[in-house]
Chains A and B, each alone.
Chain A
């Protein structure tokens, strides 16, 4: 059964499009699909949106992702990248004949592991971590650091459009 990996993958797609999926809700979603079953697409959609989405603004994004991810086999749209979801080019869809659909986040594929590890070591600094880490996951001290950093910024939002 490919369901669990596919659900996890779907969670990643959602995260990649900017929906903040909570880890525990992902676990709930896997449990819930067992109860709800896979016979009804409406029910699966309702199940996943109830557990993985918690913002009204994210619902259209979720629906698009759901439609693309859980679609009928042989659909001509299968090889389209997920640009419509606001996804950047690092998400690549591969279609292997007969194998289940796979969606690899390039940064996590094996061939780039070594490179990314080296990059991580070379680029390490607390500020660098802040750059890629989601604000919601910040610890108090990291938030403090971010605030201090923001104080150092010479930023005048009111004048942004002056040059145009």
Chain B
């Protein structure tokens, strides 16, 4: 069951259009980076504050290219058994019991039987390599800055030859490199050696016009005036010195909530009540609620 090979958009314009069809508004610079990553067959490294739509890039890219998305969420302590493969130990034990009861245990044969694909748990990196036999998937390595530096070292090796060696089974190679998207929130500096291998793109918070287009695109029920006010309010709020600024998804959630509450304009009361959707940190909410909300609102309505 082999599918048609991956078709890469023929130009930056074509790519931008394809992303647009997935409701993703990509700035020109980002579209150029994605296009280059696809053509050069290099990983795309996306950096930016949390909530600017980095993960979204991988998702819409997979949809636009009509291929699957394989996601590896990084976290502290992520190791090869969670990222690449692991032997299904309980199942192997069970199999040993069954062999034992059925017949006398032949050591050599049993070992051979126990280390076959049936007992292998394939994790995202291995799955990404295997799937290239049908059609290169988009491999999203999300929040690499959360993983340990040792894992970065492994990743560096993985990205240079796209193969995984399982001692008991042999080496599995990718038929073609998967499309790799790596994101980082910059909670720590990712090693240069890894970044230098990639096409790099910094994604800033969207400007007013772009965010407004995102809001009207994703929350179609929002009246124009509300969408403008919501966008302006969030844009202004981002300039405040907060522990965690509101991302695009918070803007969208807030707009959707206000629509659900049947609001068509912002007022101080409703903002105070719904501020928890926009800010996820209690201290931030305390700091902004009240007078500062009033001040921002006054600027928005001016």
Q: Is the CB of B45 within 8 A of A54?
A: yes
B-chain residues with CB within 8 Å of residue A47 when the two chains form the complex? 32, 36
Whether A83 sits at the interface, judged by CB under 8 Å, is no
Q: Is the CB of B36 within 8 A of A51?
A: yes
B-chain residues with CB within 8 Å of residue A51 when the two chains form the complex? 36, 199-200
- Those of B188-246 within 8 Å (CB) of chain A: 192, 195-196, 198-202
A-chain residues with CB within 8 Å of residue B40 when the two chains form the complex? 28, 31-32
Bound together, the chains give a CA A46 to CA B31 distance in angstroms of 9
Which of A28, A32, A42 is B28 in contact with, Cβ under 8 Å?
A: A42
Q: How large is the interface on A (under 10, 10 to 19, 20 to 34, 35 or more residues)?
A: 20 to 34
B-chain residues with CB within 8 Å of residue A43 when the two chains form the complex? 12, 28, 32
Which of A42, A50, A136 is B200 in contact with, Cβ under 8 Å?
A: A50
- Those of B36-65 within 8 Å (CB) of chain A: 36, 39-40, 42, 45, 47
Q: Is the CB of A54 within 8 A of B29?
A: no
B-chain residues with CB within 8 Å of residue A28 when the two chains form the complex? 36, 40, 42
Number of A-B contacts (CB under 8 A): 55
Whether A59 sits at the interface, judged by CB under 8 Å, is yes
Q: List the 9 closest A-B pairs by CB distance, nearest first.
A: A46-B32, A46-B29, A54-B195, A50-B33, A54-B200, A22-B196, A50-B199, A56-B202, A32-B36
Closest to A42 in B: B28
Whether A12 sits at the interface, judged by CB under 8 Å, is no
Q: Nearest Cβ distance between residue A154 and chain B, in whole angstroms? A: 29
14 inter-chain pairs at a CB distance below 8 angstroms, sorted by A residue, are A25-B196, A28-B36, A31-B40, A36-B32, A36-B36, A42-B28, A43-B32, A46-B29, A47-B32, A50-B29, A51-B199, A54-B192, A56-B186, A136-B192
For B12, B32, B39, the residue with the greatest tally of chain A CB atoms inside 10 Å of its CB is: B32
Whether A133 sits at the interface, judged by CB under 8 Å, is no
Q: Nearest Cβ distance between residue B246 and chain A, in whole angstroms? A: 20
Which of A20, A22, A50, A59 is B36 in contact with, Cβ under 8 Å?
A: A50
Whether A149 sits at the interface, judged by CB under 8 Å, is no
With contacts A32-B40, A54-B196 taken as known, whether A49 is within 8 angstroms of B29 at the C-beta atoms is: yes
Closest to A23 in B: B196
Count of chain B residues with Cβ under 8 Å from any Cβ of A? 21
B-chain residues with CB within 8 Å of residue A136 when the two chains form the complex? 192
Bound together, the chains give a CA A49 to CA B12 distance in angstroms of 16
Whether A155 sits at the interface, judged by CB under 8 Å, is no
A-chain residues with CB within 8 Å of residue B42 when the two chains form the complex? 28
Bound together, the chains give a CA A31 to CA B35 distance in angstroms of 13
Q: Is the CB of B28 within 8 A of A20?
A: no
Closest to B199 in A: A50
Q: Is the CB of B29 within 8 A of A36?
A: no
A-chain residues with CB within 8 Å of residue B200 when the two chains form the complex? 49-51, 53-54
> Would you give the 0/1 interface string for A115-147, flagging 1 where the beta carbon is closer than 8 Å to chain B?
000000000000000000000100000000000
Which of B33, B39, B195, B198 is A46 in contact with, Cβ under 8 Å?
A: B33
Q: Is the CB of B39 within 8 A of A35?
A: yes
Bound together, the chains give a CA A42 to CA B201 distance in angstroms of 14
Bound together, the chains give a CA A154 to CA B297 distance in angstroms of 57
Bound together, the chains give a CA A55 to CA B195 distance in angstroms of 8
- Those of B120-179 within 8 Å (CB) of chain A: none
Bound together, the chains give a CA A28 to CA B36 distance in angstroms of 9
- Those of A16-53 within 8 Å (CB) of chain B: 20, 22, 25, 28, 31-32, 35-36, 42-43, 45-47, 49-51, 53
For B33, B192, B195, B196, the residue with the greatest tally of chain A CB atoms inside 10 Å of its CB is: B196
Closest to B44 in A: A50
A-chain residues with CB within 8 Å of residue B201 when the two chains form the complex? 50
